[in-house]
Structure 1
């Protein structure tokens, strides 16, 4: 019996050629767009040299001034944009493949934060190193951060959605916040040695010569070529560890090599231009979205060059847009990284809304701690925390740049103190009260947000509310430097409300799903941080320490009248939350139980979240931006007194007040007469605790 096989038709034969033609056309279109952006980019700047002058220079008819501008400023900035775009675009696509997570990037893996910390640390201690050595230092810092984040994110994950996604971004955000706190601490302690690094830390393409691009360009090119050789293995790796192992790929070795090369690319970009944010997230994610419509773009042999091209488009596009809107001088004053971070934050929010959420209450419960103590012991613990707070406040009044004795405090209280003692305590008492009130407000706000969202990892800082309050307050400070404290407080309140409306409004569509809520909050926080950096640098670039101190959370210079807003907020919130304590218990369970018990779900959530927003905004106005208090204090409270909010709320308030008061005391004592903002110390304490929570959930998963 003969089997007849039909000859391939002309259509079938032409299909692969058509797919290749489409792919090449898409890549060519990207290159054309890069060329157009480059042409526009090289004509922009703060000098009066225009496109005609530059053309004359290119054709050999230009004057010396135009040639100097082109060679010394325009071309180095353009080449830096090309190098950074290629580096971050390729690094992002490789990290996404290794982590099998579309939200993996140099930012979400804290690579940029680790590299930045390493560079600042070396500079702060006066160590002068060549450019390539500096790149190696940045590489080691970024590699350590990536290893830590990937280790914490492993386990209990998904396939790029739900629990796996939120775990990765949360781990990266926690490590990045801790590294940022250490970096800010170094910038404040070594202000002279690190002059200019704050603006550089936001990511700027401004170059003084071609040295950086000339030395690191070959490193980037060689790294990209090596990754192209690994393209086939990356294709197989994307199928999963088991499949890759069956097909002969050594999974761990391939993953390690890929991550090391991706971090090397990120470190090169940081060395040249500072940590330009979210390019490594947005560029590869856009390419992956295009790959659905462009045949052949799914393979890494096409994904890698496409991501490189898209990275350049994002970087140059942001720089061109920045100078088109604000003028040529904006390229000097406002870092390009601010624009890319804003763009990337919006993109993160869009991706978060599209992700399916598998991290339900059950997985969140892995983070929650519960007490086994008896009811009597729990009440005694609350009393003990209150006594401890009084003792810490007493000690805090005695310590600082001027050490006092208990008798001095007694004389001050009875009006018999000398002028020096009276001056010291008159300025120190408002600071201690500010720390206590703000700590209590932030902790209670965190406990409320966690209960309403049924997410033990939610807190005002991670959900963008604290960042929004910071934007509002800094905006008032920069627009009207002589504005009253009440105006700054109003600005902080409006900013917090705006951030809360955005975050909870976007997350409400998915029923406040755990992953979506946190990812949207992190995106809004990133955007808020970028806006604050832009406000500081564009209005007062040479006095960043003042705003840095405020954004890091400080009680310096506080007076008793400035504490009235947060005091009023606490007084008003207390009876509301006491009356809603059982509603909080019910809301923390699920959506069905409140409905069965007749609790109006939407209205109750909105009311409680409004209370949390007001508490957060007034606390930020009182002491600046302090992170992790709203996370650590409620968790510790549950570990001590259980999950009933009748006990959790007062214990959270006491522990939050203790945490900020101790941090403030240490900040103005350990390096006296110098001072460290309290928010930096709470971040240094809170970030490891947050990491431990992630590690604990990894083990239980």
Structure 2
């Protein structure tokens, strides 16, 4: 089943190759206007900064009469930054343009296909294991990483490049690769100091050396794309039409894909992964194609998309400095602003897409379950397993204890060392257990209500909204109570849920649209959180980062009270509504036939799920995939009846997160890895399995 855009929105109708050129000056004027915008933004960028260099100094430098100090600032600092923006903007704009063309997918880009994440992980591996640091060596590393990531994405997507499956696979692969990179950075803080600054993409350059090395690579890649421009024009018509005109389709797609990855690798090597320029720039240019004759031709489209990429990066850099001031803007990565813009573009396109379901949702949720005849035996076994795992988790860590030590502590007869360690470790285990229950039950309710087998509080943006609310309080009001933190987290989750579910309601919660809007909101939330962190006091930033990684570090019982209350009140409410979950998970008509009002039932159950997610995020931070894996695994064990699914999913979610937290405290002790990172590494393969299982064999 293909994912298509409304022609009035995207201008993506196949072009007619014999279309006469109505007015060649329209395209020329468009190019001139873009070039003028780039020049103006570049001039503004040059005169912004911590050093006092104004427009008059820039003019004197242009005319050769500037003093030595101003010339040194312009040549050694400002112009290399602008040159990096030009090279990276052209590379990402062109790469995104051709990726969209070969996949015939308006949402394809180096970000959504995990190319940037793969390149970043490869550079992180190179930095942490001590591979040569020469920039050409870095380019090779980035290219190999980007190529491997893209290959994995295309394998997971199968042959449905034009569907949302490609973007879903790429987004989750990128999440996993960034989790691995973050883990490596935590384990190797000294070796990764340089690479860590690149995570969100920074334009700062010490001189022109790196730009000089990357420019020939970008120019050579653009030359190849120009040679293949005519083939790309024909490919837009479809594979069969292209073959009938003598175009070697697979060879063309492979060459263009490799060139696009090389462009992305060069950009990441130079500035780090500047987010979503490769999505926003070509997408915005394609919107102008219906009113600019000739712009649909790839010889023009590639170049104009590159210019748009340059304008977006320079505009983001200028905006940061204008809003925050030159001194504060030094710490803000340019990629934060471009990621926010790209997320908004993704949400807008997802809203306007003619979406469909990846699979028949009721069939995807309707499984018999291997233990459906004895469900409470499954519950008993899982409860015993959870108890044993909790005991083990309390005993192991950077300091190991015996069962007798735990018994002595429980009876108040332990020594000071055991008492202190247990006093810090037990609340962490309880936090992981409660958060696992909350996220699993929330995921179960969201999947049933939306009839969406791929829904997860993190993937669909609810957890991201909760993190924004929590980090706002942490960074701006560091002495606020934990109740204020939980309240802000709840408000953020509710706002995100209103956006996602409100926009996705158009078309009846179609899987494609819901997930894409949720992914866009998640990226926007991450960009906002990053912006909050880098613009506040570094001590507050460190505190906020504990939420972003999904860590139980430093949790005490008082931090868990809001989540305990939410579980006590909301989980029983979801259990009481199990009949509504059963009916809503079938279709939209069955509940009405039986006298159920779907809108009201959906609102109540989604509100319970959102509040459970918010309290979990406030307690331990952003944890992905628990709300996805646990409900699916529960249905595979006990079938689709939610009276059975909810307790099994809750136990499985608790087991998964307690296990992830225990591994995070032990595998690299005394260094502690956030539980959220390990949960992502465990949950992502299961997501890929679900994505593979939901493949469709027909294309509509």
Q: How big is the shift at 1:492?
A: 1.3
Tell me if structure 2 keeps the 8 A contact 1:282–1:347.
yes
Question: 2:106 aligned with 1:106, yes or no?
Answer: no
Q: Which residue of 2 aligns with 1:4?
A: none
Alignment of structure 1 residues 397-408 onto 2, 5 Å: 397-408=394-405
Question: 2:233 aligned with 1:235, yes or no?
Answer: yes
Q: Which residue of 2 aligns with 1:3?
A: none
Q: Which residue of 1 aligns with 2:81?
A: 77
Q: How big is the shift at 1:543?
A: 8.2
Tell me if structure 1 keeps the 8 A contact 2:124–2:192.
yes
Tell me if structure 1 keeps the 8 A contact 2:504–2:517.
yes
Alpha-carbon distance in 2 for matches of 1:619, 1:132? 44
Q: How big is the shift at 1:474?
A: 1.2
Q: How big is the shift at 1:427?
A: 1.3
Alpha-carbon distance in 1 for matches of 2:665, 2:356? 45
Q: Which residue of 1 aligns with 2:649?
A: 652
Inter-CA distance 178–406: structure 2 relative to 1 (3 Å threshold): same
Inter-CA distance 542–278: structure 2 relative to 1 (3 Å threshold): farther
Q: Which runs of 5+ in 2 are unaligned?
A: 1-18
Q: Which residue of 1 aligns with 2:120?
A: 116
Q: Which residue of 1 aligns with 2:7?
A: none
Tell me if structure 2 keeps the 8 A contact 1:45–1:328.
yes
Alignment partner of 2:94 out of 87, 90, 94: 90
Question: 2:332 aligned with 1:339, yes or no?
Answer: no
Alignment partner of 1:19 out of 4, 17, 23: 23
Alpha-carbon distance in 2 for matches of 1:233, 1:145? 25
Tell me if structure 2 keeps the 8 A contact 1:199–1:541.
no
Inter-CA distance 366–203: structure 2 relative to 1 (3 Å threshold): farther
Inter-CA distance 540–195: structure 2 relative to 1 (3 Å threshold): farther
Match of 1:232, SS?
Answer: helix
Tell me if structure 2 keeps the 8 A contact 1:629–1:686.
yes
Match of 2:198, SS?
Answer: helix
Q: How big is the shift at 1:503?
A: 1.1
Q: How big is the shift at 1:21?
A: 2.1
Q: Which residue of 1 aligns with 2:685?
A: 688
Question: 2:378 aligned with 1:381, yes or no?
Answer: yes
Root-mean-square deviation (Å): 1.7
Q: How big is the shift at 1:126?
A: 3.0
Q: How big is the shift at 1:511?
A: 2.3
Inter-CA distance 361–607: structure 2 relative to 1 (3 Å threshold): farther
Alpha-carbon distance in 2 for matches of 1:439, 1:303? 48
Alpha-carbon distance in 1 for matches of 2:188, 2:296? 47
Alpha-carbon distance in 1 for matches of 2:376, 2:464? 35
Deviations 1:58-93 (A, max 9, x none): 222211110111011110011011011100000001
Inter-CA distance 17–141: structure 2 relative to 1 (3 Å threshold): closer
Inter-CA distance 642–99: structure 2 relative to 1 (3 Å threshold): same
| Residues 275-284 or 183-192, more deviating | 183-192
Alignment of structure 1 residues 117-516 onto 2, 5 Å: 117-155=121-159, 157=160, 160=162, 164=163, 166-359=164-357, 362=360, 364=361, 367-368=364-365, 370-373=367-370, 375-516=372-513
Alpha-carbon distance in 2 for matches of 1:268, 1:540? 33
Tell me if structure 1 keeps the 8 A contact 2:365–2:585.
no
Alignment partner of 1:555 out of 534, 552, 558: 552
Alignment partner of 2:627 out of 617, 627, 630: 630
Tell me if structure 2 keeps the 8 A contact 1:85–1:279.
yes
Q: Which runs of 5+ in 1 are unaligned?
A: 1-14
Alpha-carbon distance in 1 for matches of 2:366, 2:272? 40
Match of 1:656, SS?
Answer: helix
Runs of 4+ deviating beyond 6 Å: none
| Residues 329-338 or 463-472, more deviating | 329-338
Tell me if structure 1 keeps the 8 A contact 2:114–2:150.
yes
Q: How big is the shift at 1:194?
A: 1.5
Alpha-carbon distance in 1 for matches of 2:358, 2:111? 26
Q: Which residue of 2 aligns with 1:8?
A: none
Inter-CA distance 365–242: structure 2 relative to 1 (3 Å threshold): farther
Tell me if structure 1 keeps the 8 A contact 2:358–2:696.
no
Instruction: Give the structure-2-normalised TM-score.
Output: 0.94
